[in-house]
Every structure is written in structure tokens, then in C-alpha cells.
Amino acid sequence: MPLLHLMALRASQINACAYCIQVHVAEALKAGETPLRLHMLPAWRESPLYSERERAALAWTEALTLVAETGAPDADWALVEAAFTEDERAFLTLSIATINLWNRVQIGFRAAHGMTLPEAQTHAA
């Protein structure tokens, strides 16, 4: 699911996990994600490149990644409720929890990131 690549990358950016950033950029490129959308991800709120569904998932990703600061706002949850089924909401939430765990494991063990990325697929939308 391409959306999961964006969510994992965004959480990893917030957590400054270099290992996971490299992994998720590489996976997203292999899956056909465009370099521009990956570059613009930190500014997704200001960019027209992301769908409403992606925006809901990214808002929820940020809210849960920064839960001590955000308290997981009702407004962000309402966006997720409107865009995803109950099963999808559960999957998204568990996916966010999982990447945050992996960020902490990789940072804690001082995992070194890879030094290369695959070539982007220029035909991907």
C-alpha cells in the first residue's frame, strides 16, 4: 500500500530515524512513488500533491507520533473516520505504532542507514 510508505516515512522524519528514512524512501521509490512527493512530504499540508485520504492518514500519523504533544486531536480522528473503514483505521493506527517502535529500536541500536536508493520510476503518478 503506497500510503503506508508515506506514513512510515513521515513518522521516521519526525523521529529523525535516518535508517528508517532511507529504508522507506527506497521502498516508496521501488513501489513507484514519485521523488517530488517524497521531497514534499514534510510540507504535505501546503502541497496539492496529496489526496484527502492521504492527508487524513498523514495528520493521524503526526498526531500519534507526537501524541505527548498533540493528545491525538478529535479533529484528526474525524478526518480518519471520514476517509477510512473501521478495519482500515485499526490497520493505520497499528501501522503508526509499529513504525514508531521501529524508529526507536533503530535509533537505540545506532543502526546505520544505507548509502543508495533505487532509481525512481518516472512514469509513476
Cα(97)–Cα(10) distance, rounded to whole angstroms?
Answer: 13
User: Binning pLDDT at 50, 70 and 90, where does residue 65 land?
Assistant: very high
Q: What cell was used for 69?
A: 504533544
For residue 119, pLDDT over 80 is answered with: no
Q: Where are the domains of the chain?
A: 2-108
Cα(32)–Cα(113) distance, rounded to whole angstroms?
Answer: 21
Alpha helices in 1-125 (DSSP H): 2-15, 18-30, 35-40, 52-65, 67-70, 74-83, 86-108
User: Collapsing DSSP states into helix, strand and coil, what is residue 64?
Assistant: helix
For residue 120, pLDDT over 80 is answered with: no
User: Binning pLDDT at 50, 70 and 90, where does residue 124 land?
Assistant: very low
Which pLDDT does position 59 carry in this prediction?
98
**Percent over 70 (pLDDT), the chain:** 95
Q: Which fold has domain 2-108?
A: AhpD-like (1.20.1290)
